[in-house]
Copies of this chain bind each other. A is one copy, B any other.
């Protein structure tokens, strides 16, 4: 279930996101009627906890309400719709990300540290990947996390436009890598059969149906036999180990590419400086 950001009244959404919990209703407003038995924070906390534990599919208005001992509809007093709740969950989770990295040792080590944190973050909150990234939520922590990535390159000479794209590519890269793991953890069979069992059953069925596999996909077969993942003793599922390795290796490749970009940019800057 990909959940789209609610696009209700933007103003109320923004007020909720930017910690205007007190200022949602214009502060000086009188308020007869019973006190609120809940708070937006409580609701978001409960929803995040639920999503962490049982996946985004388990998060419904009713289930969140049940956790808090209310009906599902009660939440609509605090939050305009489920979309906004998801926005709040998203931005709240992002708040966990570190915002400072040491760039004194150069950008490369800083980027690696950031990527590791980002990676771990998604593993802690896999459901975040299901929140639509099309239209940013524009919450405080989303901006903070973006700001943080940009500051990784603080001392580096790069055209702003190129830097923007590099930053985007880095974020995309981590997201893409971790998605495989995250989804396999949330898959319905996650509790039940393991990756290994699934693969075994599935590829057995495959072999039965497609006897000429090796001929049809010779390049794949060659890659698989030559470059089999070494059976690293620890017992993390196959898919996760594979993805982790790909993350590490892919990051190095990407960093080399960024390095090349920086070198090029420096050369062109020097060239134009020399020309003037």
Contacts and interface: CB of A to CB of B under 8 A. Distances in A.
Interface of A: 1-2, 4, 7, 10-11, 13-15, 18, 20, 130, 132-135, 138, 140, 143-144, 146-147, 150-151, 154, 159-166, 168-169, 172-173, 175-177, 179-189, 193, 195, 198, 201-206, 208-210, 213, 216-220, 222-223, 226-227, 229, 239, 245-246, 249-250, 252-261
Contact of A220 (B14, B146, B202, B255): B146
A1 B4 contact: no
Contact of A250 (B132, B168, B206): B168
Nearest to A201: B10
The majority secondary structure among interface residues of chain A is helix
Given A11-B205, A130-B2, A198-B135, A166 B253 contact: yes
Contact of A206 (B7, B14, B189): B14
A169 B198 CA distance: 24
Copies of this chain present: 2
Nearest to A200: B10
Given A198-B7, A253-B261, A254-B257, A180 B18 contact: no
A150 B184 contact: no
30 contacts: A4-B189, A7-B198, A10-B205, A11-B205, A11-B208, A14-B202, A15-B209, A18-B209, A134-B181, A135-B187, A135-B195, A140-B216, A143-B217, A144-B216, A146-B217, A147-B218, A147-B219, A150-B220, A160-B223, A161-B229, A164-B227, A165-B250, A165-B253, A166-B249, A166-B250, A166-B253, A175-B176, A176-B176, A256-B257, A256-B261
